Structure 1
């Protein structure tokens, strides 16, 4: 009899793994369903440190949604995309002595955005600049290209800074 119970438990674990896989595939589909957005206001409110933006192409991807809706609570949103800063803004940011920018290429660029990411960009990134931008309230990486004054951002749950007005 003891062997039967063990098999039952293993069956339950296998079922759990299948459910987990299904959740992961649903997770990637949400990126497919996301529409490339061009509105600037949500980005400028969240990334005020970048100054005025233009030419934005970005996605708001809902992460880890459970199709059965059995997990209540906040939903994580990945905000990822590119935008143009005003001329010279990137040089001003990367020239700030306290930020140690290093060459680093963004990874995991969603397929829908690849055509909007400058092919020959020389991306730089700084952990301390990322911390300044996120103020420690969310996770995010900001890649800057001085030649094109472009930012590529990849963030999770970026919040609007407190006291930034309505």
Structure 2
């Protein structure tokens, strides 16, 4: 049976699509670098100053692109923050909160393992809007005020730079979602 030029095009496009999605030949699973739970405060403080002076943070950074295609990579940053009592009160009284999803936050496995049992998650559209500066990037936030735990999950979060007139998004010291070192 003779294959026409359309058959060759379909085979070539399918091959390129598999190569660009980062699938392995053995299992067909995306190639991902291992996700390491980190505890550095700086990257979280620079991107989420609204969290306040938290007690502890554990978070992960995950490149979502395979690295095989040219261009910037999307970065997912997710973690668990232990809020100070003062900041938990400030957030609780400063925003309208509603009961969150019964299943709790949907976060990467390494972060999910850090979530406390029995948490009563709440979410706030106002808080999310303030943190993301009106939706400049996608993010979800869940808080349990009794446990003083905040969970965040953000895609390409900006660094907040204070230029003297208030907080504005920007990049400081070469740090940003498209930079490998966080």
TM-score, normalized by the shorter chain, greater than 0.5: yes
Distance, in Å, in 2 between the alignment partners of 1:13 and 1:88 is: 56
Q: What secondary structure does 1:22 align onto?
A: coil
Count of aligned residue pairs for this structure pair: 157
Cα pair distance change 1:164/1:99, threshold 3 Å: farther
Determine which structure has the larger helix proportion and give its number. Answer: 1
* Bigger relative CO (Cα 8 Å, ≥ 6 apart): 1
Match of 1:16 in 2: 16
What per-residue deviation string (whole Å, max 9, x for no partner) do you get for residues 16-62 of structure 1?
Answer: 34223518702xx23xx121101112212211111111221100111
1:102 aligns with 2:107: no
Given the two structures, how large is their TM-score scaled by the length of structure 1? 0.81
Cα pair distance change 1:100/1:117, threshold 3 Å: closer
Question: 5 Å matches for 1:15-94?
Answer: 15-19=15-19, 20=21, 22=23, 25-26=30-31, 29-30=32-33, 33-67=34-68, 70-72=69-71, 74-94=72-92
1:6 aligns with 2:12: no
Unaligned runs of 5+ in 2: 165-171, 173-182
Contact 1:140 1:155 in 2 (8 A): yes
Distance, in Å, in 2 between the alignment partners of 1:10 and 1:75 is: 27
Q: How much does 1:103 deviate?
A: 1.9
Distance, in Å, in 1 between the alignment partners of 2:36 and 2:73 is: 18
